[in-house]
Every structure is written in C-alpha cells, then in structure tokens.
Amino acid sequence: MQINPKIIKSHFEKSMDKYDENAIVQKFLAEVLADKTASIKKDYDKILELGCGTGLLTKQIKEKLNFKSYTANDLTDKSKKYLNKILKNYTYIAGNAQKIAPNSKFDLIISNAMFQWFKNLDEVTLKYKNLLNKDGILAFTTFSKENFYEFKKITNLSLDYKSEKELKEILEKNYEILKLETYKKTMNFKTPLELLYHMKNTGVNSLSKSRWTLSEVKDFCDKYKENFRKTTLTYTPILVIAKKLD
Ligand SMILES: C[S@@+](CC[C@H](N)C(=O)[O-])C[C@H]1O[C@@H](n2cnc3c(N)ncnc32)[C@H](O)[C@@H]1O
C-alpha cells in the first residue's frame, strides 16, 4: 500500500519528541550507515540528507564524515529545530524528497529509514543519479519484504517493501552497487499495546490511515495474543551504498 506524504508528515510530527528514545533500530542503522559510508570515502564536498527527521543520522555524519556543505530535507519544517542543535551551517529544503529540486549537485546523497515510503523507486533513484556529481554516492537504508510481519499478519497492512533482489535490479540500472547488506532486528514488548505505542512514538503508524478506535485497539491486542506467544516486532533493514554510473 502507498501512503499519502501528508499522513506521513502528520504522524512523524506527532512522534518527534519521543522519537529518539524509541527509535532503537533507526539509531542502530544511522550508526552503521555512517560507518559503512565512511569506510568507502570520508571526504565529500556537498552532502544532501533526505528525510532527516530529528537528526539521528545527521549527528553520525557530523562525527564520521568530512564535508564542505550540507543540505538537509524532510517533509516537515519541524526538523530544523533539531538540526539547529547539530549543525552550524546548513541549507534546509522542506518538502517531498521525491520532488525535491535543489539548485546544485551533490557528492553524497544519504538517507536513513525513509526510502520505504517512496512510491516509485525506479523514478527517484534515476532522479538522484541526476542530482549527483560524477562518481557521486547514494547511501541509504530501507526495509525488505518481511518487515513488521507480525503487524501485517494481524492487520493486513504493509508498505510495498522491495525484496533485496528487486532493489538490486532497480539500482543496477543507474548505479554500481558497492555494498548491499541485510539485517534482522527483533524488538520485544510486554504487551501488544506497548508494541502499538512503539509504532506511534516512532511515527511508523502511518500504515493505518485513521486513528484507531478503542475497540480496534482491543481487537488488535486480542488477535495478536491468539497468533503469537511473545510480543515482538521484527525489522528487516537493507543497507545500500552505490556509486553513480557514468
Ligand atoms: C523513520 S524517520 C527517519 C528519520 C531519520 N532519517 C533518522 O535516521 O532517524 C523517516 C523520516 O522521513 C521523513 N519522510 C518520509 N517520507 C518523506 C518524503 N517523501 N520526503 C521527505 N521526507 C520524508 C519523515 O517525515 C521522517 O522524518
């Protein structure tokens, strides 16, 4: 299923204050993404970060990479409040990263835990190729098919996640893949209600369009307990670092 960016924006804005303490997997991915990108190349003139949120990845990039200019983007303007605490100088472009139109090119385009929301990965990865300088790098994390399988089993709600193979096929049209790694992280909760709060506090509850009623919440919790012995939520991230083809 595809989610309207307006809904994603509204859910993330509501989660921002609680995001950092709840986004355990996203934080892990931000660290790994910055480390792995640095292991390929540490110095970049111009960096563009897409979907910067509260700046978990921004902090890691500041620590681990060298750059001359930084441009950050998110659907919401509210990210600036967080980025102002991390970076002294940066350019901010608010809006949909699929439609972004910066007035210069970049050496690194990087994004953590955001590409899964994109409608057409073929189109955006081509767009980003055209925004990269020669030998420019596209580095991102996203999630594969099995992501949140527990939630999908109960609600039948899921994003159109790509498999590792599908992702590879899309990227190879315009990039040389330097790294493609998969991970699996399972989070444990005391109750299904706690799981739902975790999803809300990390903004990933955009999967359900409207506010759930009390009886829908109860129904979810009951069904969860019928289907699973333990309360878990499994994240299946994919990390990609790719170099633009000529
Ligand atoms: C899971 S959060 C990740 C935030 C941050 N990258 C991190 O590492 O914690 C996803 C972020 O992507 C943003 N986002 C989702 N779709 C977007 C789009 N189409 N364009 C720009 N930002 C988007 C959301 O507003 C949210 O801040």
Q: What is the pLDDT of residues 113-125, one digit of tens each?
A: 999 999 999 999 9
Q: Whose CA is nearest to atom 27 of ligand 1?
A: 53
For residue 245, the model assigns a pLDDT of: 98
Does the beta carbon of 58 sit less than 6 angstroms from any atom of ligand 1?
A: no
The pair of three-digit structure tokens given for residue 151, joined into one six-digit string: 């939630």
Tally the domains of the chain.
1
203 within some domain:
no
Domain that holds residue 9: 5-148+158-188+235-244
216 within some domain:
no
Ligand 1: centre distance to CA 116 (Å): 10
Task: Tell whether pTM > 0.85.
Answer: yes
- Whether the predicted pLDDT of 161 surpasses 80: yes
Ligand 1: centre distance to CA 171 (Å): 20
195 within some domain:
no
208 within some domain:
no
DSSP string across 9-47: HHHHHHHHHHHHHH-HHHHHHHHHHHHHHHHH--EEEEE
Mean pLDDT (the chain) is: 95
At 175-219, the pLDDT tens digits run: 999 999 999 999 999 999 999 999 999 987 666 656 788 999 999
- Whether the predicted pLDDT of 49 surpasses 80: yes
CATH code of 32's domain: 3.40.50.150
For residue 209, the model assigns a pLDDT of: 57
Q: Whose CA is nearest to atom 4 of ligand 1?
A: 53
212 within some domain:
no
DSSP string across 109-176: EEESS-GGG-S-HHHHHHHHHHHEEEEEEEEEEEE-TTTTHHHHHHH-----PPPHHHHHHHHTTTEE
- Whether the predicted pLDDT of 2 surpasses 80: no
Mean pLDDT of 89-108: 97
Does the beta carbon of 240 sit less than 6 angstroms from any atom of ligand 1?
A: no
Does the beta carbon of 237 sit less than 6 angstroms from any atom of ligand 1?
A: no
211 within some domain:
no
210 within some domain:
no
Does the beta carbon of 51 sit less than 6 angstroms from any atom of ligand 1?
A: yes
Mean pLDDT of 151-157: 94
For residue 11, the model assigns a pLDDT of: 84
Mean pLDDT of 19-26: 96
Q: Which residue has the higher pLDDT, 35 or 7?
A: 35
For residue 208, the model assigns a pLDDT of: 64
Q: Whose CA is nearest to atom 12 of ligand 1?
A: 51
220 within some domain:
no
